[in-house]
Structure 1
């Protein structure tokens, strides 16, 4: 479902991703861990086309995201192509990014109506179902400011799922929440993982969540993958000293 082929990303002289190769199968749940600045969030931003690659290619669902073919050459994709492929991808950010002037129901229906072209009634029915899934069926008419941080993040999850993406990206979605609110958001995502075949790519410091939902966990450092293993194996028998040091520091924080 996702394939990075020798992807390079630089910010000035700083090489954030260094000829990165990795793939995620359809329906697979993969978690990226590692220190700040190791390139994890950059991967998600490239998939959302918030950043452009400096080398290599990215494919989503068998279609090239970053480039299009012109005759015999691959050339950087234009905005129209990016928009089309991006419809297959949903993302939940650290900050909730809800529209403050819209009630919860409209926050969830706005993009399906205006981007996917769904009829309003169909979008509303889908939104109600998803808000029930995330435990907010009683908050349809609330404004974001009337919700707790955990509730706002659950609305953001429902909004991402309302676009019916093939891929769901999660970027440190509990980092702005206190532990109790973070737990309720992670419980919702556990339910989504259990009841859905959606492909999930997650950046998190919540190691228990990574262990519970992931098929694979990738340890990143300096733009490269140090380890790529099932969660139990990586957490209990890490190969690299760098991984062991990182896990000790994260577990001490939590």
Structure 2
């Protein structure tokens, strides 16, 4: 579902991703762990085309993201091509990024109506189902400013799901929340992980959450994957000394 092939990303002389190869199979839940600055969030931003790789290619669901085939050659993709591939991806950010001037229901329906061309009635029905799923049915007509941080993040999750993505990207989705609000958001994400076939790529420092939902965990350091495996293996018996040092500091 996701394939990085020799992807390099630099910021000036700083190499954030270094000739990175990795794949995520359809329906799998993969969590990226590692110290700040190791390249984890850069991967998500490349998939959302908020950044552009300096070298290498990225594929989503078998299609190149920022390249396309023309006359047997791989060339930079048109904006239209990239936009079509990106429709398969939903992302939940650290900050909620809700539209402050729109009520909760419209926050969830806006993209399905205007990007997917979904009829408004169908989009609203879908939005109400998703708001029920994340426990916010009674808040549909409120503005984001009337909600707690945890409630706003759950709206953001519903908004991402409304696009019916094949891939869900989660970028430290609890880092901006007060500690007592974290559990509710993680419970919603656990439910999605356990009841849907959406492929999930997650960056988090919530190690218990990573252990619960992940099929695979990838340890990053200095722009490279230095260890990967099932969560039981990574969290209980890591082989790499750097992984052991990192986990001893965060667990």
- TM-score w.r.t. structure 2 length? 0.99
For 1:1-254, list aligned pairs within 5 A.
Answer: 1-251=1-251
> How far 1:47 sits from its partner (Å)?
0.4
The alignment partner of 2:112 has SS state of helix
Superimposed CA distance per residue, residues 107-165 of structure 1 (whole angstroms, 9 cap, x where no aligned partner): 00000000000000000000000000000011000100000000000000000000000
> How far 1:81 sits from its partner (Å)?
1.1
CA distance in 2 between counterparts of 1:232 and 1:72 reads: 44
Question: Where in structure 1 do 4 or more consecutive aligned residues deviate above 6 Å?
Answer: none
Listed as ranges, the gaps of 5+ residues in structure 1 are none
> How far 1:78 sits from its partner (Å)?
2.0
CA distance in 2 between counterparts of 1:87 and 1:185 reads: 24
The alignment partner of 2:57 has SS state of strand
CA distance in 2 between counterparts of 1:231 and 1:145 reads: 37
CA distance in 2 between counterparts of 1:179 and 1:236 reads: 25
The alignment partner of 1:116 has SS state of coil
CA distance in 1 between counterparts of 2:221 and 2:77 reads: 29
Superimposed CA distance per residue, residues 202-250 of structure 1 (whole angstroms, 9 cap, x where no aligned partner): 0000000000000000000000001110001100001111111111111
Let me know the Cα RMSD of the aligned residues.
Answer: 0.7
Between 196-205 and 69-78, report the one with greater CA deviation.
Answer: 69-78
